[in-house]
């Protein structure tokens, strides 16, 4: 096999039955999610005129919605699959953090790992929208890495959680907002190794190369390119394919993950494990909103990883799930029954 030309995807009755059986195991699994907790706020209304003060629209707000975002949305996806979820991260001593914890507990999460800090706010993203159109986004956050005492508080909470309950997987969701500091990352990886717990990672740029020896590393194409400093023109297919191959080899050499799941947006996903390299194309869909698709992909992939599903089938179903949530506006978690129906419809190849 030419490494620059991964094998086409394959899908068999065995893959179908195995992945559905794995999803059926989800209610018996407990997953620890650690990462950047956020609140996604939506300010909705109508625009009827332009401001006399500046050439900007005036939104007459009618609705304000708050939803768990970032690592909290990944946790909601795992709950949607039926998993028991323990969540660890940081929030501020503010209304956004207070409401977020209540919402997560109402959704059945164990929030014992959430540390409340006095000196930084809960990350709050406010999207101002009218008639389905996104007018502006306002971010309120402090995104520097946690200081050593704060990292120690979070890491100690995680160690207590892992000592008290058995977890089938640990999922690290990094949005470069500071919760996953170098000290927290290295501490979690050491704990996971000592306990034999597989770790999946959804990385961002800042600490891209700190996640060594994990079971599943899931960058998207932008993260691969910028995290490794790769260069190619967006319309140069050959250069892009060569750059991807170079990036995958560098990840294997530097990080030694058991597997790499590279999401490629409209081109689907590519998975590499033990010398095997396969690509699964995206499925034709009416795409309404891509927000949160990556959260769904890593959540589904982590459940299938913990269940021992072969990597090509894992990639196929994670790819399917990511596309499925794009059919609904806003950031929404996956619905397990809808995913099962989609799996049943996949044609064999």
Give the catalytic positions in this structure: 295
Residues forming beta bridges with residue 116, ordered by sequence position: 91
Q: What is the DSSP letter of 5?
A: S
Token pair of 236 as six digits: 């140069």
Token pair of 87 as six digits: 């969540």
Confirm if 76 and 64 have CB atoms less than 8 A apart. no
User: Residue 45's closest CA among 103, 127, 118, 101?
Assistant: 127
**How far apart, in Å, are the Cα atoms of 158 and each of 35, 207, 255, 300?**
11, 20, 23, 22
Please tell me the distance from the alpha carbon of residue 248 to that of residue 231, in angstroms, as a whole number: 14
**How far apart, in Å, are the Cα atoms of 284 and each of 210, 257, 268, 287, 318?**
35, 31, 10, 9, 15
- CB neighbours of 283 closer than 8 A, spacing ≥ 6? 319, 320, 323
276 sits in the region (left: phi over 0; alpha: psi -120 to 50; else beta) called beta
Q: What burial class does residue 233 get, using C-beta atoms within 10 Å of its C-beta: 0-12 exposed, 13-18 middle, 19+ buried?
A: exposed
Phi, psi of 278 (to 5 degrees): -135, 150
The separation between the first and the last C-alpha atoms of the chain, rounded to the nearest angstrom, is: 19
């Amino acid at each position: 096999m030419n490494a620059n030309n991964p094998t086409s995807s394959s899908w068999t009755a065995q893959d179908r039955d195995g992945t559905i059986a794995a999803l059926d195991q989800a209610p018996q699994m407990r997953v620890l999610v650690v990462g950047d907790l956020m609140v996604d706020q939506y300010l909705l209304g109508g625009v009827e005129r332009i401001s006399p003060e500046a050439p900007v629209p005036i939104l007459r707000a009618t609705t304000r919605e708050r939803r768990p975002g970032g690592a909290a949305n990944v946790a909601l996806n795992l709950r949607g699959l039926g998993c028991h979820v323990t969540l660890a991260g940081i929030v501020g001593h503010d209304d956004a953090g207070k409401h977020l914890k209540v919402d997560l507990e109402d959704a059945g999460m164990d929030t014992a790992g959430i540390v409340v800090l006095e000196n930084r706010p809960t990350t709050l993203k406010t999207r101002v929208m009218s008639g389905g159109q996104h007018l502006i986004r306002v971010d309120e956050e402090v995104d520097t890495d946690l200081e050593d005492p704060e990292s120690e508080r979070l890491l100690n909470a995680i160690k207590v959680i892992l000592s008290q309950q058995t977890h089938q997987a640990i999922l690290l969701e990094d949005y470069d907002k500071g919760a996953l500091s170098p000290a927290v990352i290295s501490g979690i990886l050491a704990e996971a190794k000592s306990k034999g717990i597989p770790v999946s990672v959804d990385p961002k740029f800042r600490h891209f190369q700190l996640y060594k020896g994990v079971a599943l590393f899931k960058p998207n194409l932008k993260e691969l390119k910028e995290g490794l400093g790769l260069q190619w023109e967006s319309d140069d297919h050959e250069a892009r394919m060569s750059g991807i191959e170079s990036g995958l080899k560098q990840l294997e050499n530097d990080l030694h993950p058991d597997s790499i799941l590279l999401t490629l947006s409209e081109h689907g996903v590519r998975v590499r494990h033990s010398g095997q390299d396969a690509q699964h194309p995206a499925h034709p869909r009416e795409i309404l909103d891509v927000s949160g698709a990556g959260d769904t992909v890593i959540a589904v992939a982590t459940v299938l990883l913990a269940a021992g599903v072969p990597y090509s089938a894992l990639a196929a179903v994670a790819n399917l799930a990511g596309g499925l949530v794009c059919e609904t506006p806003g950031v929404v978690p996956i619905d397990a029954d809808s995913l099962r129906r989609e799996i049943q419809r996949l044609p064999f190849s």
